[in-house]
Amino acid sequence: MIDNKIKIPIPKEWNDISVQDLFKLKWQAPKKLVHNLRMEKSVLLNGEVTLWTESLKTGDQLEISISEKDKKTIQPTYFSIDILYEDDHLLVVNKPATMITHPNVDEKNTLLNAVIYYLNGSYASHIHRLDKNTTGTVLFAKHPLSHAILDRMLEERKIKRTYWALTDGLLHKKVGIINAPIGRDRHHSTRRRVSNTGQSAVTDYRVLSTFPKEQLTLIECTLRTGRTHQIRVHFQHIGHPLAGDKLYDGSSLFNRQALHARKITFIHPFSLKKLEIQAPFIDEPAIFDRFFKRND
């Protein structure tokens, strides 16, 4: 059994609230996790076991020991990875193309395998996923408490993910919303499609630049929902599939869909600082660089 010890300095925003209310109201931590921490006396305040009704003061330090009893065994695998941000609670990685985010069954050549290798076998769990051939920011939790909090933040849309894409053709509407439900394509096992019986899906976009010579549009997108292949399906639906996206009728200009998770923005759940983490382009050969430079 592994114990994950985390230390959290108390910011001024939590002054005078109790330990109990910090877990219950601020973090909305899972009841089972909180129960185990209380029973095992795993929460220290300034180095001492504390009552859960104790009021916190700015500058106090909580120390929490979290047992990883139910940790799944995932094979650490070495790959060179691009760490964009890391602290004791989370990390953000720039995912390359051709790599899937997490293993299915016994796969071991995934981004999660590489992150666990980087962390010397310690806890890591992805908070969201990217398609195999999409590059950019992926957020990982480094202990079960941050995992639970970040999962909830994602569900409540408190984690903003910004994507860049190159679409086929020239979009003349500079700002738009695509609101079209997405479901499975019953004729193709991996494709999705716009369907009246599908799950609600909303994509906001704005045009950054158009390139008449190449017949391409550089767009920035944010998602109000997180459906599988959402951006790819939505832009195919409006007649502008992503360049290189063979699955969704895109052109063959590139060897993958031209989609990059450019930026992730959220309030850190423990420090309460705003994080805005941007992923550089890492394609070899480059897809976005020449269009980005012209846009810049």
**What amino acid positions are annotated as catalytic residues?**
131
Give the burial class of 20: count Cβ atoms within 10 A of its Cβ; 0-12 exposed, 13-18 middle, 19 or more buried. Answer: middle
Helix, strand, or coil here: 50? coil
Dmax over CA atoms of the chain, in Å, equals 68
Token readout for 101 is: 């985010």
Instruction: Label residue 120 left, alpha or beta by phi (over 0 means left) and psi (-120 to 50 means alpha).
Output: left
Residue type, 105: V
User: Which long-range contacts does 24-31 make (Cβ < 8 Å, 24+ apart)?
Assistant: 27/145, 27/148, 27/149, 27/269, 28/149, 28/152, 29/145, 29/148, 29/149, 30/148
Note the helical H segments in the chain: 19-21, 31-39, 111-118, 144-155, 230-237, 289-295
**CB 238 within 8 Å of CB 140:** no
Token readout for 100 is: 């899937």
Per DSSP bridges, beta strands 274-278 and 259-267 are antiparallel
Q: Cβ neighbours of residue 201 under 8 Å, at least 6 residues apart?
A: 179, 180, 181, 182, 225, 227, 230, 233, 234
Q: Cβ neighbours of residue 40 under 8 Å, at least 6 residues apart?
A: 65, 67
**CB 4 within 8 Å of CB 66:** yes
